[in-house]
């Protein structure tokens, strides 16, 4: 049996579609309950949900961040397994069954990810590697996009087609299937990460302790991608950059953090603006400077 944790923030109809994909007759034997942590949404995403005794909703009086909201859900899970699922994701009829059966057959795996396809059934990159300062530099100047097999991307494994099973550093937080006991063992998500990099940090702590993260290409789900933060691009960029620096400070050497800070705060504003300019996305350039202004001002 599985407890499914979903953190919602203005997900609109995505959340309803997600819940409907779980709450089906074929999935009933496999999930215990759906735990929705709502981070003070201002839309009607919660109101759209059908009543079900298997749906539990916690509504926060403010947006406490993704990590803290996840931990709220994790701490009340009591099924053998927990699935962290994005509201812009949907399960297929056999997703839960295959996850349960695979984990029962492979009890040494700590975190399981599955193949995430977009709405057109195209396989998307959903696994990441542990970054280095050099990888962040490759991303900043565009080399990892031009030749990803040579200049390895910092995070998302766009240099791999995600069509075979393998151990990985991290699976995307949009779909993380885990034994529920893993959270107490590895001390939950680090709530200093408001959003972004929290699952990377958690996965690194699991790996450093000898745990295993596995990607199963034969299990599939749907992920629309981008989620609700697509609505606020400048703010999303700021949150991503801030979490990157927090992760770097936590896991890199002093020199590594300094190099990442220089890449992030000096090189990247220029290159981001340049790439948007040559793509003709002039309206997005002010969002870049908005993000860096927030980062410089220490916005919370």
- Residue 179 contacts residue 80 (beta carbons within 8 Å): yes
Given this model, what pLDDT does residue 149 score?
85
In 145-185, which ranges are E strands? 166-167, 170-171, 175-179
Rounded to whole angstroms, what are the CA distances from 65 to 61, 138, 233, 239? 12, 29, 17, 10
Tell me what the mean pLDDT of segment 186-208 comes to.
Answer: 96
Q: 296 or 88: whose pLDDT is higher?
A: 88
- Residue 34 contacts residue 56 (beta carbons within 8 Å): yes
What residue ranges do the domains of the chain occupy? Answer: 2-126+162-226, 232-296
* Residue 267 DSSP code: I
Give this prediction's pTM: 0.93
d(CA 79, CA 1): 6
3-state secondary structure of 210: coil
Q: Going by DSSP bridges, is the β-strand pair 166-167/175-179 parallel, antiparallel, or unpaired?
A: unpaired
Given this model, what pLDDT does residue 205 score?
97
- Please report which confidence band the pLDDT of residue 161 belongs to, taking 50, 70 and 90 as the band edges: very high
Is the pLDDT assigned to residue 9 strictly greater than 70? Answer: yes
3-state secondary structure of 221: strand
In this structure, which CATH number among 3.20.20.140, 3.90.226.10, 3.40.190.170, 3.90.550.10 belongs to the domain 2-126+162-226?
3.90.550.10
Is the pLDDT assigned to residue 31 strictly greater than 60? Answer: yes
Percent of the chain with pLDDT over 90: 89
Given this model, what pLDDT does residue 48 score?
93
């Amino acid at each position: 049996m599985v407890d499914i944790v979903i953190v919602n923030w203005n997900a609109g109809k995505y959340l309803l579609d997600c819940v409907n994909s779980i709450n089906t007759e074929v999935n009933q034997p496999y999930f215990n309950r759906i735990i929705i942590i709502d981070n003070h949404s201002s839309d009607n995403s919660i109101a759209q949900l059908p009543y079900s005794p298997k749906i539990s909703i916690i509504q926060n009086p403010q947006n406490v961040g993704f990590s803290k909201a996840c931990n709220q859900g994790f701490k009340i899970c009591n099924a053998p397994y927990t699935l962290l699922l994005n509201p812009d994701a949907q399960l297929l009829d056999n997703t839960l069954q295959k996850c349960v059966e695979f984990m029962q057959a492979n009890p040494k795996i700590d975190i399981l990810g599955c193949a995430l396809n977009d709405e057109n059934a195209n396989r998307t990159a959903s696994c990441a590697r542990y970054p280095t300062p050099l990888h962040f530099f490759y991303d900043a100047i565009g080399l990892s996009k031009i030749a990803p097999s040579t200049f390895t991307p910092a995070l998302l494994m766009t240099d791999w087609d995600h069509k075979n099973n393998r151990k990985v550093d991290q699976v995307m937080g949009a779909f993380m299937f885990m034994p529920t006991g893993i959270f107490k063992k590895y001390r939950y998500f680090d709530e200093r990460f408001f959003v972004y990099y929290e699952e990377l940090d958690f996965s690194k702590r699991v790996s450093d302790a000898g745990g295993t993260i596995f990607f199963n290409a034969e299990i599939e789900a749907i992920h629309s991608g981008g989620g609700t933060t697509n609505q606020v691009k400048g703010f999303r960029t700021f949150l991503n950059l801030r979490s990157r620096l927090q992760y770097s400070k936590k896991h890199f050497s002093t020199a590594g953090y300094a190099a990442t800070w220089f890449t992030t705060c000096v090189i990247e504003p220029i290159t981001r603006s340049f790439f948007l300019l040559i793509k003709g996305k002039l309206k997005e350039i002010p969002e870049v400077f908005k993000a860096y202004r927030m980062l410089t001002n220490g916005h919370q």
